[in-house]
């Protein structure tokens, strides 16, 4: 039975990955779940300098999921290289580093620092506000997305995954823009923009007013977007958004995802990812599937 999948020449032992920002770099989770069982760990977004994040409260529970406005708090690339990359070297999972920035130059600075590090791929979070062009996220304008992808590809020495924002009118156009810019793969979905109001206090629940909506409630939106992009571009698609079980993971793969990531559900059960890896194998046995690659995009 084969559970291996390949993205941009990088072979994952299985298609199960962690979603950026929900698993740190694996340090805390390694005490609760076996990182060696995962196809890849995708780390929390890292920027060229430390980011303090947004004021609190910055997370809230909603039906079927959560809102977060963490604001990409991170210690910056220097600490990340010194502390997080060495930690991951003890594990056999592939290492994918998620990169954030507020200008193209900031993205490029991080990519250049990561070029010679022992990591397998970089995932670029384009849901960050583009401060020089009116603060609309890089991933909300196809022209800007293609341009930032090209500039990153011109300096990157590792395969590049562009992580698409679902807060757009036409997700296929965004997949095509990333592909045209030379991306090796795309991943989706990032969080959907949401809001929650405390009606007793007549205040926003999050200090930031809005936050990213994630968790099982977003899954049908994510499956539809993964299907749309996977049937539009030729590069591999990594699917995520509300995955809680092996059945959810298989649904994304049948929609066209080569691999999948688990985000919010890590907070509910830190063993979700390894349980999903086991559940996929069980599903393959039950259905007599010899090669996991046979189910990718198989839905008609």
Ligand X SMILES: Cc1cc2nc3c(=O)[nH]c(=O)nc-3n(C[C@H](O)[C@H](O)[C@H](O)COP(=O)(O)O)c2cc1C
**Half-sphere exposure (Cβ direction) of 68: Cα atoms closer than 13 Å:** 16
Q: Is 72 in the site for ligand X (CB under 6 A)?
A: yes
Q: Give Dmax over CA atoms of the chain in angstroms.
A: 56
Give 145 or 189: the residue with its C-beta nearer to ligand X: 189
What is the C-alpha to C-alpha distance for residues 158 and 68, in angstroms, rounded to an integer?
A: 30
CB of 131 to ligand X, least distance (A): 17
Q: Is 240 helix (H, G, I), strand (E, B) or coil?
A: strand
Q: Is 47 in the site for ligand X (CB under 6 A)?
A: no
Q: Is 5 in the site for ligand X (CB under 6 A)?
A: no
Q: Is 165 in the site for ligand X (CB under 6 A)?
A: no
Piece of 107-115, 137-145, 174-182, 186-194 that binds ligand X (CB under 6 A): 186-194
Peptide bond connecting 189 to the previous residue in cis, omega within 30 degrees of 0: yes
Task: Tally DSSP H helices, then E strands, for the chain.
Answer: 9, 16
Q: Is 140 in the site for ligand X (CB under 6 A)?
A: no
Q: Is 166 in the site for ligand X (CB under 6 A)?
A: no
CB of 16 to ligand X, least distance (A): 12
Tokens of 52: 């303090």
What is the C-alpha to C-alpha distance for residues 192 and 212, in angstroms, rounded to an integer?
A: 5
Q: Is 77 in the site for ligand X (CB under 6 A)?
A: no
- b (16+ CB within 10 A) / e for 180-192: ebbbbbbbbbbbb
Residue sitting closest to ligand X (CB): 21
Give 70 or 145: the residue with its C-beta nearer to ligand X: 70
Piece of 6-14, 112-120, 150-158, 257-265 that binds ligand X (CB under 6 A): 257-265
Q: Is 44 in the site for ligand X (CB under 6 A)?
A: yes
Report yes or no: 264 and 242 within 8 Å, Cβ to Cβ.
yes
Residues that bind ligand X (CB under 6 A): 19-22, 44-45, 68, 70, 72, 98, 125, 163, 189-191, 212, 214-215, 218, 240-243, 262-264
């Amino acid at each position: 039975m084969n559970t291996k999948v390949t993205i941009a020449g990088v072979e994952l032992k299985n298609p199960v990955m962690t979603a950026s920002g929900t698993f740190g770099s694996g340090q805390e989770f390694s005490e609760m779940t076996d990182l060696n069982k995962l196809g890849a760990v995708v780390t929390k977004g890292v920027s060229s300098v430390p980011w303090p994040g947004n004021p609190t409260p910055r997370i809230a529970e909603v039906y079927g999921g959560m809102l977060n406005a963490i604001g990409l708090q991170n210690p910056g690339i220097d600490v990340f290289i010194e502390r997080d990359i060495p930690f991951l070297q003890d594990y056999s999972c592939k290492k994918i580093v998620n990169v954030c920035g507020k200008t193209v130059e900031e993205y490029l600075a991080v990519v250049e620092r990561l070029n010679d590090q022992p990591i397998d791929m970089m995932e670029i979070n384009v849901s960050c506000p583009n401060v020089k062009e009116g603060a609309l996220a890089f991933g909300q304008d196809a022209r800007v997305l293609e341009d930032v992808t090209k500039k990153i590809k011109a300096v990157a020495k590792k395969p590049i995954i562009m992580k698409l924002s679902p807060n757009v009118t036409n997700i296929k156009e965004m997949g095509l823009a990333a592909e045209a810019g030379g991306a090796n793969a795309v991943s989706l979905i990032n969080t959907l923009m949401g809001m929650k109001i405390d009606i007793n206090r007549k205040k926003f629940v999050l200090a930031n007013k809005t936050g990213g909506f994630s968790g099982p409630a977003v899954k049908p939106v994510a499956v539809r977007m993964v299907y749309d992009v996977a049937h539009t571009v030729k590069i591999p698609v990594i699917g995520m958004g509300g995955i809680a079980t092996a059945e959810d993971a298989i649904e994304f793969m049948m929609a066209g995802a080569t691999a999948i990531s688990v985000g919010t559900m890590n907070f509910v059960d830190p063993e979700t990812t390894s349980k999903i890896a086991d559940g996929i194998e069980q599903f393959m046995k039950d259905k007599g599937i010899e090669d996991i690659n046979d189910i990718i995009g198989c839905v008609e």
